Copies of this chain bind each other. A is one copy, B any other.
Amino acid sequence: MINIVLADDHELVRDGIKALLEDQKDIVVIDEASNGKEALEVLERTKPDLLIVDIRMPELNGIEVVTEVSKKHKNVKTLVLSMHDSEEYVVQAIQAGADGYLLKGASKDEFLKALTKVASGGKYFTGDVSAIIMNNFVNGNATTTPKKESVTDPFHLTKREKQILSLVLQLKNNKVIAEELQISKRTAEVHRFNLMKKLDVKNIMELSNKAKEYQLI
């Protein structure tokens, strides 16, 4: 039996998911939350097998929730739902430790497939995203071989530089980057400068294009 908690601020979406799961004998929605903070409270109480969490919610967003779950509820799988097929969102979901990512427009079949895969310990990332993301990682996840790593890291970026690169490609400015990484703005500036130098680019446009060309993120 798979016990599920739903976290989404739209009641229609929660109802839709419950309706979709109604005839699944081995899957049951045991509780719901309508914001991120409530989601964590509900998790604490009910200890489900799997959390389905919308990426955008009040109080805490889905990424923040998944980050907390990864730290404090290692037995709970997380499946992130999003309206948008956004590469940034996918990257953020993976970085936060999500076990899956799905678009709200997904079919019932795909939805169930994702649920089942994730509940049984696998990963499920929707459609076109999987191929892109599996070639990339930011914090040096040990799931890939060293050979693969050297192919995907031709510029020998450090761990911190990869983090900075990811945030810069999300168009975050130095102030925001500093806040998120809890470093000084001057530190963020220097990492950014070093990054541009390593990649031999002059501006953000060239940086973005090179990142895409070499599939750095």
Contact = CB atoms under 8 A, between A and B. Distances in A.
Interface stretch (A16-24, A71-79, A115-123): A16-24
Contacts of A212: 84, 86
A81 to B, nearest CB: 9
Interface string A1-40: 0000000011111111111100000000000000000000
Copies of this chain in its oligomeric complex? 2
Interface string A157-193: 0000000000000111100100000000000000000
A134 interface: no
B171 A9 contact: no
Interface string A189-217: 00000000000000111001000110000
Interface string A106-117: 111001000000
